[in-house]
Amino acid sequence: MKRIFLLVATNFAVLLVLSITMQLLGVDRMLAEETGMNLLGLLLMAGIFGFGGSFISLLISKWMAKRATGAHVIEVPSNMTERWLVDTVKRQAEKAGIGMPEVAVYDAPEVNAFATGWNRDSALVAVSTGLLQNMSQDEAEAVLGHEVTHIANGDMVTLTLIQGVLNTFVIFLSRVIGMIIDRAVFKVERGQGPAFFVTVIIAQIVLGVLASIVVMWFSRWREFRADAGGASLAGRNKMIAALERLKLNHEQPAQLPEAVKAFGISGGVGVGLKRLFMSHPPLDERIAALRSGDR
């Protein structure tokens, strides 16, 4: 809750400073006189819409993940593998200081796992049948530690809040840019001309792409932290071995739905501009970071 409060407070503080700055510079007065635009109202509207979708997605993330993957939550272990999964997650959760997550298995040939949930004490850890079939117990233990660390670090919440902040600014700035272009370039004196709507759409696309680069940068950074946490919970050699195993199975295309793909453990391969939009760092970099102890 402290993490949520601080990030939300920071966002509204930034919005307040932006609003005050525009008032001091007379930008809000000029826009109000020329266009009738209420910047404070626009800021509030952008904040509501920017955070609204992100928070709703977070609150229903477990339900969506179960539906999207067909994950079977282990209520009562039916075999030794399920018993080991539940016991391992329980032990790691206690060590990490979080509530016991739900543990689930979903049917997919890929070697993957993910964690999601709206808070540290109401989360879900799911592993694929492909992971259970292709990884040793030590490697699977490290993967579970990686996912438990995501929960302990509050990564799902933080990523949602960062997305909400960026959504807010994309909505706000695109409309300010649209109104300025409408008046300055196309000389529309009253109301909103066609140029406003066209400019808003283009600005939202451009700003949205830039915002996604920031989100993906954070997503890659948190993977390094989760790897380090997995190494702490299960052992560094086990975590390295798990990532090496992922490399060997990386030819198998990812089957995770878009709704939870960013939360999977599998890495990516990208060069040039494509790298900016990767949710996970390349596996070689993650392995090197663990070996050197840089992360």
What does the pLDDT look like over 107-138, one tens digit per residue?
Answer: 998 899 999 988 889 899 999 999 999 999 99
- For 249-270, what is the mean pLDDT? 59
Percent of the chain with pLDDT over 90: 36
Residue 2 pLDDT more than 80?
A: no
Residue 164 pLDDT more than 70?
A: yes
**pLDDT tens digits, residue range 17-29?**
666 665 565 655 5
pLDDT category of residue 199 using cuts at 50, 70 and 90: confident
Quote the longest CA-to-CA distance of the chain: 73
Spatial distance between the Cα atoms of 193 and 203, rounded to a whole number of angstroms: 16
> Mind telling me the catalytic residues?
147
39 versus 231: which is more confidently predicted? 231
Residue 83 pLDDT more than 70?
A: yes
Element (H, E) at 140: helix 137-152
Which runs of E-coded beta strand occur in the chain? 72-73, 102-106, 113-119, 122-128
pLDDT category of residue 88 using cuts at 50, 70 and 90: very high
CB atoms within 10 A of CB 195: 17
Q: Are 28 and 39 in contact (CB under 8 A)?
A: yes
User: Residue 1 has what pLDDT?
Assistant: 45
Full DSSP string of 179-192: HHHHHHTT---SS-
Mean pLDDT of the residues in the chain:
81
Spatial distance between the Cα atoms of 199 and 41, rounded to a whole number of angstroms: 20
The model carries a pTM of 0.79
Q: Is the dihedral of CA 119, 125, 126, 130 positive or negative?
A: positive
Q: Are 120 and 209 in contact (CB under 8 A)?
A: no
User: Residue 3 has what pLDDT?
Assistant: 46
